[in-house]
Amino acid sequence: MDAEKIKSALADVTAEQDPTLKSAKLASLCSALWAERGVELVVVGGSAIEILTEGAYASGDLDMCHANKATLPVRERREVMGLLGAKGGPRNWQVAGMFVDVLGPAESFARTPFRRIKAPYGDFLVMKPEDLLVERVLMSYYREKVKRRGTARKFSSPWRCAGRLQ
């Protein structure tokens, strides 16, 4: 993608008022630039849920992982994201007023393919709904479990100090 097209796309993303459309446009732009270097990205986590629900769930950032085995060294990551005027790195960036996390390989146990979304700067991939649902259920279960464990520790701390609990 040439510099003029990137500049125009970045202006469009920056001007977008709808947070979900802004995420989708930025995912499209990032995916196109990384694909030029052999890395296929996929939108994951809350960002994927936001796009799949057309904004019914608001993530507030854009999380992406590698959909293929290819990866980029830190120097090349900085070059690619530098084309977008991104600040930060090597995994967490700020681009066009949004936070973008480009993480490691995507993990999926579902046999269904990633969703392919048509967008202005090229198609982009979104994580499988089955994986997203399982991830959210597990996160809610384990967060609650950790919260309960913390409460139990807080209540038992006087006993710990007295040497009565291990």
SS3 sequence, 8-61? HHHHHHHHCCCHHHHHHHHHHHHHHHHHCCCCCEEECHHHHHHHHCCCCCCCCE
Pick the residue with more confidence: 73 or 107?
73
Residues in a beta bridge with 63: 101
Is there a contact between 67 and 40 (Cβ–Cβ < 8 Å)? yes
Least confident of 35-39, 71-75, 104-108: 104-108
What local confidence, expressed as pLDDT, does residue 109 receive? 76
What local confidence, expressed as pLDDT, does residue 158 receive? 42
The domain defined by 3-130 folds into Beta Polymerase; domain 2 (3.30.460)
pTM score, whole prediction: 0.80
What local confidence, expressed as pLDDT, does residue 70 receive? 85
Other CB atoms within 10 Å distance of the CB of residue 19: 15
Report the distance separating Cα 120 and Cα 81, nearest Å: 19
Pick the residue with more confidence: 145 or 50?
50
Task: Check whether 154 has a pLDDT greater than 60.
Answer: no
Residue holding tokens 């993480």? 103
Instruction: Count Cβ neighbours within 10 Å for each residue of 89-102 and write b for 16 or more, e otherwise.
Output: eeeebbbbebebbb
